[in-house]
Structure 1
Amino acid sequence: MGGEAGEPTGHPHRAAATLAVRPWQRRQQRMPQALERADGSWAWVVLLATMVTQGLTLGFPTCIGIFFTELQWEFQASNSETSWFPSILTAVLHMAGPLCSILVGRFGCRVTVMLGGVLASLGMVASSFSHNLSQLYFTAGFITGLGMCFSFQSSITVLGFYFVRRRVLANALASMGVSLGITLWPLLSRYLLENLGWRGTFL
């Protein structure tokens, strides 16, 4: 009697539990069996892409000083006014992590990285048409910083899906991308600045 009375109320609870699990299952399916083929050949392609992404996202903020004098002269701004641009970029790059984690959980690392690349590119292109520092703050500072955050954070997260036994090695190699970016970005930026100006370089 007690079993029969409890049975009707048991089914809805089990159904609700099943429905509650399904979104997580769908999110797991967005990573195409990455863990099943962890440490495989495709994992090293992902690692290479992560190195490039980290070099681009963390290397660029270190070379902004090259453009500092040009930006000051262009906008007739003080040191403190001009320095807000790299400050906003760096702050958004590191503070938008929680938002990035929401996007990764909802859409996966691949989509979030691509979204970050689009935002960072749009921000830099738009900044090349800036007429005042406020526009530069928003385009190259906020939009580009947000895009770099999405790309950087997602590229770190995705390594955990593709590496298991060699995860420590993968993270160590990925961090080399930052060193390469910090080394190469200033050289490239100086060359482009001398030949194209800061607007052409940002574009």
Structure 2
Amino acid sequence: MNKRNEVAIDLPSLQNIGLEEEARDVATLPPVDGGRDAWLALAGAFTLEALVWGFPYCYGLFRTYYSMHEPFASQPAGIAAISTTATAIMFISAPLVALFVQRYPRLRRTSSLLGLVVTVASLLAASFCNSTAGLLATQGVLFAVGGLFLYFPAMYVIDEWFVARKGLAFGIVWTGTGASG
């Protein structure tokens, strides 16, 4: 019985210590809705938006180039399918990737790094392609998959950095598509 009383007395004191440490950690966090770190995160997300979603939307520039240069000039239908495939994969897979990133928050950094590697590798591989099938695989499929895993962790970062100005922040981020397109 004496032991039971000791545990009951020690338990609240342990909880208070944990709360004090947590309060100390919260006090050292940078401010949300402003400050240098929040605006840098917003600028990074704007850039990602411009690169990931703007690239398939401004594909008309690539189509013009490909249609005038060999070996792609003889396959105009295949060239048009590249950006359509990338956009379709991104739109159809977006809810699944968003749920994955939300369900496993510890994998956000890994997801974004893997997405960056796949996106860059797809664009580098596309520069060595000699057929529209190669471009479809690299700029159409791989770019879309890598871009999704790069993009969605950034959206959760913006969601965490901005609370009261969340609408403004996402509005700025989403203008990146139009700015790059």
TM-score, normalised relative to structure 2 = 0.71
Could you tell me which runs of 5 or more consecutive residues in structure 1 were left unpaired when the two chains were aligned: 1-31, 183-203
Q: How does 1:83-162 map to 2 (within 5 A)?
A: 83-97=80-94, 98-106=96-104, 107-162=106-161
Runs of 4+, deviation exceeding 3 Å? 107-111
Give the structure 1 partner of residue 4 of structure 2.
none
- CA separation of 1:69 and 1:149: change in aligned 2, threshold 3 A: same
- CA separation of 1:148 and 1:68: change in aligned 2, threshold 3 A: same
TM-score, normalised relative to structure 1 = 0.64
Note if 1:47 corresponds to 2:33.
Answer: no
Could you tell me which runs of 5 or more consecutive residues in structure 2 were left unpaired when the two chains were aligned: 1-24
Q: How does 1:15-94 map to 2 (within 5 A)?
A: 37-41=31-35, 42-72=37-67, 73-94=70-91
- Cα deviation, 1:150-197, whole Å, max 9, x if unaligned, reads 223332232111111111221122223223212xxxxxxxxxxxxxxx
Q: CA RMSD of the aligned region, Å? A: 2.5
8 Å CA contact retained: 2:119, 2:146: yes
| Percentage of matched positions with identical amino acids | 24
Distance 1:83 1:52 in 2: 25
Give the structure 2 partner of residue 7 of structure 1.
none
How far has the Cα of 1:124 moved from its partner? 0.5
Distance 1:146 1:162 in 2: 26
8 Å CA contact retained: 1:54, 1:177: yes
Give the structure 1 partner of residue 7 of structure 2.
none
Comparing 137-146 and 36-45, the one that deviates more? 36-45
